[in-house]
Structure 1
């Protein structure tokens, strides 16, 4: 996968993770299913890491 294709994926993953975290705070803990907790804990950091990786790869000069 090339770098320009990675950044939109990273943004989407991060946005889904942040939306899950916001849902946790808005709805409160007891009423939400387990996948919302998993999405909040996994998608936001994964999207952030993928975004950083994409930015680093795009800033390097081509050989």
Structure 2
């Protein structure tokens, strides 16, 4: 079974978003620049959505014999 090229990108986006969210909780809201907040709240959902799209595309792809 081959995986699409979207899935590694989705995992990377999601991971970066989660790391940014964890950094927000560890450092606190006053110690980080605004781009960390934007990364946390935009990258994690974008990575999750891209992963779902990739999984659905792979599931719907006709299988070759």
TM-score over 0.5 for the pair: yes
Root mean square deviation, CA, Å: 1.4
Alignment TM-score, normalising by the size of structure 2: 0.89
Are 1:18 and 2:18 matched, yes or no? yes
Unpaired runs of at least 5, structure 2: none
Q: Secondary structure at the match of 2:4?
A: helix
Higher gyration radius (CA)? 2
Going by fraction, where is helix more abundant, 1 or 2?
A: 1
**Partner of 1:30 in structure 2?**
30
In 1, Cα distance between the equivalents of 2:19 and 2:61?
Answer: 35
- Segments of 4+ moved more than 3 angstroms: none
In 1, Cα distance between the equivalents of 2:40 and 2:53?
Answer: 20
Number of positions where the alignment pairs a residue of Structure 1 with one of Structure 2: 61
Unpaired runs of at least 5, structure 1: none
